[in-house]
Structure 1
Amino acid sequence: MTQNQNSDSQEPAPDGPPTSDIIYPSAIPFVLVHLACLGAIWTGVTIEALAIGVGLYWLRIFAIGAGYHRYFSHRAFETSRAFQFILALLSQSTSQKSVLWWASNHRDHHLYSDTELDVHSPRHTGFLYSHLGWIFSRRHSQTNLTRIADFASYPELMWLHRHELTPAFALAVLCFAVAGWPGLVVGFFWSTVAVYHATFSINSVAHVAGRRRYITGDDSRNNWLLAIFTMGEGWHNNHHAFQSSARQGFRWWEYDPTFYLLKLLERLGVVWKLKRPTLEVVQNRHRLGTRVISRAALQVAESFNAERIALAAAAALGKSRLSELHQRLRQVQPFAGFEILSELNLPHVPSRTEIVSRARAMLANSPSMEDIAARAHELLLEAIGTRLATLAAQSAYAG
């Protein structure tokens, strides 16, 4: 079980790469939980213990998806204060820290998804760190209560926050009381480890393997296999396209039993106001926000080698024209040189048509494709212009 580290402050993150900031002692309980699974060699595996383990896996996977994720992180539906507490209790029985810690970090993930500020991005920190290493990083040990202020105002949730391991310990004791040592090892520890890695795979696997139906400005993907093991959480690209939806399998064939159970609870009056994606989103006809357009454009621009293009353009221009370009670039505002470069029609620089073609090849279809290509064109020319200015200055200095 992960160690309690619930000090709450908004201190700046430590300097240095995230992967160098892992607090290894805090990972020891996590490793011990995995080693405890080997105890089945001595306790044996009983039908009763297996039944408990399978039941607890699916119950707690539902709690992760419906509780930690769709409710506490995204407020995808409404419920009573009593059921809110039950969801929190079930969620924390997974030993994945408190609902406030989990949800605040997840909100940060969406705010900075697959940028350098993302708490777990395979693109920037590698697969293993995004899968589980980030949990034990000093910079993520604290809980940003400001980010989760809507739930931090509830005393019972703050009590769970301060005693994050209590639900897991209580469940472990209950498993032992019902089925003895096999109940503890197989029923509790096996299911806990399985829930760990099913959950963590959404952070890691669902950002490297699968299909992208929507442009979301990040690497989120739909993975049908993960959807099976996580009760619908594997439709991750769908989720990033419409984060507040209680339904993550947007198409009828996209298996999402967490949503089906929420629908049942809605009929029973336990939850209500389940949010769903708009028809425009489902049909991929919605226009993208500025932030998504900018992130997608950056992906397209970075797919070109600005350094190589600048060197080729400089060679074609020659020293005198390069010096003239340098003077013109010095007279404009920083990062506004793309206007000058557009006028010059420099050799080796990709045309707007080429950039549109690259964007269509890299990204899913979207009504905002032209906007993405236009922004990518600007970003690429800015990068080339910055490098050309450096080359011109070096040439002038050398001369």
Structure 2
Amino acid sequence: MTALPASLQSHRVRQRAETSDSIRSVSEGRVVWEPIRSLWLTSMAIGAVVGGIACFSWSGVALFVTSTALVLLLGHSVGMHRKLIHDSFACPKWLEYLLVYCGVQVGLAGPIGLVRTHDLRDYAQRLPHCHDYLAHRRGWLVDAWWQLHCELRLREPPRIEIESRIGDDGFYRFLQRTWMLQHLPWALAFFAIGGWSWVFWGLCARVTAGVFGHWLIGYFAHNHGGMHHEVRGANVQGRNVRFVSLLTMGECWHNNHHAFPGSSKLGLYPGEWDPGWWFLRGCERLGLVHDLRLPEDLPAREELHRLDPQPFPGRVHIPTALLTRTAR
């Protein structure tokens, strides 16, 4: 039976009693076409390309840029990832609901489904081996097809135990059931204001860019880029993908995130811009959020090793007890 690092003992993903090996539970399975997910993205992409060209308008493009930036910042980065999944800061429930609702507008999945998908991948990548689907290990064309149009069906999948603050929440359960339909009111509003141009650019192009961009950054952030830290024993290391920090709202600092997944700040080193963190700090000054967790607030991880001597700036100070220095 494979020994798990201490940091996985309290993970949402748990090995089933009947499974003798935690690695086998995330490495044996097959990738199959998922029709609903595939048709959803394909229809949005067709609407974005065909409709966007046929009904081009500069106001539609402006709506696309503005709405995409807002849902990626407020929804995906801050709401879904830093709050719902990692609970890295505290805020009033109304604000949490608003941020997670914005995350649904990205068009990836419902909140509960996204937590399950994220946590299975996170758990698998920390083990010595996992399925290529979970590791983004295949070439980019295969990985694009797998991640955008397919699903992984594991032979003996582990349990995913979602805490009641998410799994039993009525609003999140409603969003999970209706996450595709949540785009319909906006489509009607866009059509009433700007016609088909606003629908194709404000909805179809936004969803296409959000879903495709999420895959693209995920692929590069697990295969190409710099590293400040190494998680020993993990078969997949996160990578920092520079030059796209503004486009990803700070999510590109994935090596930092693999090292300190519970941190509300992802850009930890000088020059690592993190718009999600800027937004949280602004909300903190307004009294809307509090208890922002940083690397020094997290428990030590024996498997985490530092690869370079560069110091952390500002408020982020990493006690030496959290890291083992490793020379390159």
Report the CA distance between 1:82 and its aligned residue: 1.1
Identify if the C-alpha distance between structure 1 residues 221 and 54 changes in structure 2 by more than 3 Å, giving closer, same or farther.
same
**1:254 matched to 2:309:** no
Report the CA distance between 1:169 and its aligned residue: 2.1
> Could you tell me which amino acid in structure 2 is paired with residue 89 of structure 1?
Y
For 2:135 and 2:44, locate their aligned partners in 1 and report how far apart those are by CA, in whole Å.
25
8 A Cα contact 2:26 2:158, kept in partner = no
Task: Give the one of 83, 88, 109 matched to 2:100.
Answer: 88
Report the CA distance between 1:368 and its aligned residue: 5.6
Task: Give the one of 109, 113, 116 matched to 1:97.
Answer: 109
> Could you tell me which amino acid in structure 1 is paired with residue 85 of structure 2?
S
Task: Give the one of 302, 309, 313 matched to 1:289.
Answer: 302
Report the CA distance between 1:117 and its aligned residue: 4.9
In structure 2, the partner of 1:190 is: 205
**1:227 matched to 2:245:** yes
Is the radius of gyration larger for structure 1 or structure 2? Answer: 1
Larger deviation, residues 153-162 vs 236-245: 153-162
**1:158 matched to 2:151:** no
Aligned length: 282
For 1:159 and 1:143, locate their aligned partners in 2 and report how far apart those are by CA, in whole Å.
25
8 A Cα contact 1:120 1:129, kept in partner = no
- Give unpaired runs (5+ residues) of structure 2: 1-15, 20-24, 309-322
8 A Cα contact 1:233 1:248, kept in partner = yes
> Could you tell me which amino acid in structure 2 is paired with residue 193 of structure 1?
T
For 2:83 and 2:110, locate their aligned partners in 1 and report how far apart those are by CA, in whole Å.
14
**1:50 matched to 2:61:** yes
In structure 1, the partner of 2:130 is: 116
**1:127 matched to 2:140:** yes
For 1:132 and 1:246, locate their aligned partners in 2 and report how far apart those are by CA, in whole Å.
31
8 A Cα contact 1:112 1:118, kept in partner = no
TM-score, normalising length from structure 2? 0.76
> Could you tell me which amino acid in structure 2 is paired with residue 85 of structure 1?
Y
8 A Cα contact 1:122 1:129, kept in partner = no
In structure 2, the partner of 1:202 is: 217
Report the CA distance between 1:167 and its aligned residue: 2.0
After superposition, give the CA deviation of every residue in 1:29-51 in whole Å (9 maximum; x if it has no partner): 211111111212321x2222111
Identify if the C-alpha distance between structure 1 residues 223 and 131 changes in structure 2 by more than 3 Å, giving closer, same or farther.
same
RMSD of aligned alpha carbons: 3.1
- Give unpaired runs (5+ residues) of structure 1: 1-9, 294-362, 371-399
TM-score, normalising length from structure 1? 0.63
For 1:15 and 1:250, locate their aligned partners in 2 and report how far apart those are by CA, in whole Å.
32
Q: In proportion to residue count, which structure has more strand?
A: 2
Report the CA distance between 1:119 and its aligned residue: 5.7
Report the CA distance between 1:220 and its aligned residue: 0.9
> Could you tell me which amino acid in structure 1 is paired with residue 135 of structure 2?
S
SS in 1 for 2:125: coil
Identify if the C-alpha distance between structure 1 residues 15 and 61 changes in structure 2 by more than 3 Å, giving closer, same or farther.
closer
In structure 1, the partner of 2:13 is: none
Report the CA distance between 1:161 and its aligned residue: 1.1
SS in 2 for 1:87: helix
8 A Cα contact 2:228 2:255, kept in partner = yes
For 1:113 and 1:143, locate their aligned partners in 2 and report how far apart those are by CA, in whole Å.
14
SS in 2 for 1:225: coil
For 2:197 and 2:242, locate their aligned partners in 1 and report how far apart those are by CA, in whole Å.
32
After superposition, give the CA deviation of every residue in 1:287-319 in whole Å (9 maximum; x if it has no partner): 7424x58xxxxxxxxxxxxxxxxxxxxxxxxxx
In structure 2, the partner of 1:321 is: none
After superposition, give the CA deviation of every residue in 1:264-290 in whole Å (9 maximum; x if it has no partner): 1122222211111229x9xxxx97424
> Could you tell me which amino acid in structure 1 is paired with residue 134 of structure 2?
H
For 2:27 and 2:121, locate their aligned partners in 1 and report how far apart those are by CA, in whole Å.
19
Identify if the C-alpha distance between structure 1 residues 15 and 263 changes in structure 2 by more than 3 Å, giving closer, same or farther.
closer
8 A Cα contact 1:220 1:237, kept in partner = yes
8 A Cα contact 1:14 1:139, kept in partner = no
Identify if the C-alpha distance between structure 1 residues 128 and 273 changes in structure 2 by more than 3 Å, giving closer, same or farther.
farther
